[in-house]
Chain A
């Protein structure tokens, strides 16, 4: 139930990758004919990765994952256009791969506007328009939030960016292969995605960059990826990414419909059967597999440990920040007070999730939440009408 953290590599993806470890292991940059097959496989993967978002193959650059792509996109644009302007617009609920890159750029003299979101986690296109300045060079807004699953109005954002002549990057790590994306229709100039979020392998991602946008390298030291990204190509990973993208395109409609129905079933049951619970994120406009709750009067880590003991893997906030004591920046941005944000749980489904598993999860949750509330002085006070009641 933590498929937003990572997914299981699809059997067909694995099978397609295997020959590229020991049989067709050549470095695709080599001249000899042995390298030709590997090179061809990379080309196929590039076509597949591009097709899923309506891009051209030569607009796809393979990277080591979503974080690299996010870092690269933002730094390349910022550094490439520094003479034009030094203002970047993003949102408060981006992944840290975007937020920390922006913070890094702030230290380098750039200015960053972090847009607020509403209670459901959506940014307002009007607020975005107001934030645009003559020196704005980049807008970076995620396609869907990794914690609460809310889909952002990226088509509208792309339209605004295009009208104003500003480059638009979207972190699509959670949505690539999970919701329809089209870089032409949505006017997306740069897009980051990761292989392991769509039943592909870990350690491989893509950066899509529109043909006419000059992309400065982040990693220097070789002519790979048309001189933009040095490093011997991770052929098995790239092949796996391509296959995962092809499968995702093929199955998207059916898979998303199934996941959405199961997600709604889970959300409805949890909200109906566990009192003092709220759903975070937009009720409908959210990732097909994402359910995110706050259970009042209890704390997320305790909940996760007890769920784990029942064989259920969930996440509290984002796995990248677990170990941190502060509640998630996303939950604070949607206006939740700290004490409610502490009781958060993200459950993310996969294509393999069954209704029986969800029933089991709801039953476990009812028992565990009840047990932790019995232990909670906040619950005791709330029931007695005491001072901690919000």
Chain B
């Protein structure tokens, strides 16, 4: 049902864990729906994501998309990280079963939520970043 890459990221999740005193942290999803993702960012003075960690409650695809999302944003600037879309996450994982596409949306949203928190703490505005929604069902229905 899952691609080899999804299984690899599920079995060996990259960047799983927490960051103490993160520059930004965002939690998205809904335990009721079966997925919650939390993304921690450590951003340096020049706006480069020095470190990123995630924690996820959810299915295999939820874990794999969070893991892949952390890989895609690590070492990037916040502006570049903002460009990481759910499609990019899915492509990097060699695709997802149709019923699991929402996991990639959740991963994108988790990055945005963490960036939003970072911007808020810094008192800055990241161009193009909208306030994240807590519950992605709103996104899916949009």
**A residues neighboring B (CB under 8 Å):** 297-299, 301-302, 305, 309, 323, 325, 327, 337-339, 342, 374-380, 388
Residues of A within 8 A of B38 (CB): 377, 380
CA distance A323 to B32 in the complex (A): 17
CB neighbours of B7 from chain A (8 A): 305
**Interchain CB contact (< 8 A) of B60 among A301, A323, A337, A378:** A301
Are the CB atoms of A378 and B11 closer together than 8 Å?
no
* Of B31, B38, B99, most A-chain CB atoms within 10 Å: B31
Structural contact, A378 and B57, CB atoms closer than 8 A:
yes
Per-position 1/0 for B90-113, Cβ under 8 A of A: 000000000100000000000000
Q: A302-B60, A323-B99, A325-B99 are in contact. Are A376 and B32 (CB under 8 A)?
A: no
Q: Confirm or deny: B132 has a beta carbon within 8 angstroms of a beta carbon on chain A.
A: no
Would you call B16 an interface residue if the criterion is a C-beta within 8 Å of the partner chain's C-beta atoms?
yes
Within 8 Å CB of A339, what residues of B?
A: 31-32, 34
Q: How far is the CB of A195 from chain B (nearest CB, A)?
A: 28
B18 neighbours in A (Cβ, 8 Å): 380
List residues of B (8-41) whose CB comes within 8 Å of A's CBs. Answer: 10-11, 13, 16, 18, 27, 31-38
A379 to B62, CA, bound (A): 16
Question: Contact between B36 and A338 (Cβ–Cβ < 8 Å)?
Answer: no
Which of A323, A325, A376 has a CB less than 8 Å from the CB of B55?
A376
Distance between B70 CB and nearest chain A CB, rounded to angstroms = 13
Q: Indicate the member of A301, A323, A374 with the most B CB atoms within 10 Å.
A: A301
Known interface pairs A302-B10, A302-B63, A338-B33; 9 further A-B residue pairs with C-beta atoms within 8 A, sorted by A's residue number: A299-B57, A299-B59, A301-B60, A302-B59, A302-B60, A305-B10, A325-B34, A375-B16, A377-B56
Given known contacts A323-B99, A377-B38, A301 and B56 CB-to-CB distance under 8 angstroms = no
- Is there an interface contact between B13 and A375, defined as CB atoms closer than 8 Å? yes
Taking the complex as formed, is B58 at the interface, i.e. its CB lies under 8 A from any CB of chain A? yes
With a cutoff of 8 Å between Cβ atoms, the chain B residues found around residue A302 in the complex are 10, 58-60, 62-63
B36 touches A377 (CB 8 A): yes
Instruction: Give the distance to chain A from B22, nearest Cβ to Cβ, in Å.
Output: 13
Q: How far is the CA of A298 from the CA of B16 in the complex (A)?
A: 15
Instruction: Please give me the residue from chain B that is nearest to A387 by CB atom.
Output: B27
Of all chain B residues, which has the CB nearest A309? B11
The interface residues of chain B lying within 8 Å CB-to-CB of A375 are: 13, 16, 55-57, 63
A325:B58 contact, CB within 8 angstroms: no
* Cα(A202)–Cα(B1), bound, Å: 24
Decide: A301 near B59, CB < 8 A? Known: A309-B11, A375-B13: yes
How many cross-chain pairs have Cβ atoms below 8 Å apart between A and B?
62
Chain B: CB-nearest residue to A386: B27
Chain B residues with Cβ below 8 Å from A338 are 31-34
CB-nearest residue of chain B relative to A301? B59
- In the docked arrangement, what's the CA distance between A337 and B33, Å? 11
Checking A297, A327, A337 against B57 with a beta-carbon cut-off of 8 angstroms, the contacting residue is A297
The smallest C-beta distance from A375 to any residue of chain B, in angstroms, reads: 6
Q: A338-B31, A380-B18, A380-B55 are in contact. Are A299 and B62 (CB under 8 A)?
A: yes
Bound complex: CA of A325 vs CA of B58, how far in Å? 11
Nearest CB on B from A328, distance (A): 12
Q: Can you name 30 A-B residue pairings with CB atoms under 8 Å?
A: A298-B57, A299-B34, A299-B57, A299-B58, A301-B60, A302-B10, A302-B59, A302-B60, A302-B62, A302-B63, A305-B10, A305-B60, A327-B34, A338-B32, A338-B33, A338-B34, A342-B31, A374-B16, A375-B57, A376-B36, A376-B56, A376-B57, A377-B27, A377-B57, A378-B31, A378-B57, A379-B57, A380-B38, A388-B31, A388-B36
B58 to A, closest residue via Cβ:
A299
Chain B contacts with A in 104-133, Cβ cutoff 8 A: none
- Residue of A298, A339, A375 contacting most chain B CB atoms (<10 Å): A375
B102 CB to closest chain A CB (Å) equals 8
Query: Nearest chain B CB to A98's CB is how many angstroms away?
Result: 25
The distance in angstroms between the C-alpha atoms of A380 and B37, with both chains bound, is 12
Contacts of A325 in B (CB 8 A): 33-34, 99
Among residues of B, the one whose C-beta sits closest to the C-beta of A339 is B31
Q: Which 8 A-B pairs have the closest CB atoms?
A: A339-B31, A301-B59, A377-B38, A338-B32, A377-B55, A376-B57, A342-B34, A378-B57
Which single residue of chain A is at the shortest CB-CB distance from B10?
A305
Contacts of A378 in B (CB 8 A): 31, 36, 57
Q: How far is the CA of A377 from the CA of B35 in the complex (A)?
A: 10
